[in-house]
Amino acid sequence: MLALLRGDHQLSETKFAAAAGGALEVRTAHPGEINDWLAPTPVRSVPCGITNMPIIADPALETRRNMIGALIRTTTNLRNVTPGRDFKPKFVDIRQVNAGDRCTSCGGPLKLHKTIEVGHIFKLGYKYSESMRLRVSTKRATK
């Protein structure tokens, strides 16, 4: 499966895996794999001409026109590439959010903050809490 994003965006592996049906290990392709997938055509533009795998593109590319496509195995590029005309992707939100993106709930700009994880819920029962002798109290703390 091929993921397409704007060059200034980062792929959200979680969103991409969900768009691919959830049963997909997301990783960068190895150079040998890229050559195998693009063979036997000696020169091919990415994403134009890709027919042996699904293409998922971020909606930020949906209205783009006259983009540049990389010609594989050459030193030139294909100009004026337009989604829908030159390749047929499925448009799905697959990018990480950025500061300033609009909140899907209120429409306001998002602010991103670095944080640390102080708790985590997962399906291991009491394995870690028992080993550290951690307990939950129903009593309210008083100052």
Per residue in 18-66, pLDDT (tens digit) is: 888 876 677 888 877 777 776 655 555 567 777 778 889 999 999 888 8
First to last CA, the chain: 56
Residue 32 CA to residue 111 CA, distance in Å, equals: 40
What is the band of 93 on the pLDDT scale with cuts at 50, 70, 90? very high
Number of alpha carbons in the 13 Å side-chain half-sphere of residue 82: 6
Rounded to 5 degrees, φ, ψ at 119 are: -160, 155
Residue 128 reports pLDDT greater than 80? no
Q: What pLDDT score was predicted for residue 59?
A: 93
pLDDT tens readout for residues 58-91: 999 998 888 877 666 666 677 888 888 888 899 9
The overall pTM is greater than 0.85: no
